[in-house]
Amino acid sequence: MLRITLVRYALVGGVSLGCNVALFSLFYVFGVWYVYASTVANWGVYFLNFSLHKFWTFEDKGIYKTAWQLPAHLSLKLLWNALIAAPALVYALVEYSQISPVYGQFAAGLIIGAQNFLVCRYIIFSIIRKS
């Protein structure tokens, strides 16, 4: 079961990334400043990502829990990942490991992705499963 969940998690990440780039490109091609295009694309894909993770990846069908899951997931993605973990990891990797910022960003994304999986699986979308 864990293997299937990991595959689904990776697929949702890939779909989200593809939709993000497509939405960003659409806005950018029509003359929207790339910073605004990035913001709109990230917000648009955020809700797709949340929904796919909730209902498909972690198979959490309970609508009643969405009232606390959505803010918890948003806090994880926005406050922890975007404002604290990613910048700190990239800084540490670049300054102390002497790797390029691009590789640092990529490595931080992998580390944060693993951490997000654990938090989503065991806290935000946790389901008591019968053995």
23-58 pLDDT, tens digit each: 889 999 999 888 788 888 888 888 999 999 999 999
Task: Give me 78's structure tokens.
Answer: 């926005």
Whole-angstrom distance, CA of residue 37 vs CA of residue 30? 10
Task: Give me 39's structure tokens.
Answer: 């913001």
pTM for this prediction: 0.78
Question: Where are the domains positioned within the chain?
Answer: 1-59, 61-131
Task: Give me 33's structure tokens.
Answer: 């400043």
CA angle at residue 46 from 70 to 100, to 5 degrees? 120
Q: How far is CA 75 from the centre of its chain?
A: 11
Rounded average pLDDT over 77-100 = 85
Instruction: Determine phi and psi for 56, rounding to 5 degrees.
Output: -110, -55
Q: How many CA atoms lie less than 13 Å away from 22 in the CB half-sphere?
A: 8
Residue owning tokens 């949702």: 12
Arithmetic mean of pLDDT over the chain: 87
The amino acid sitting at 42 is N
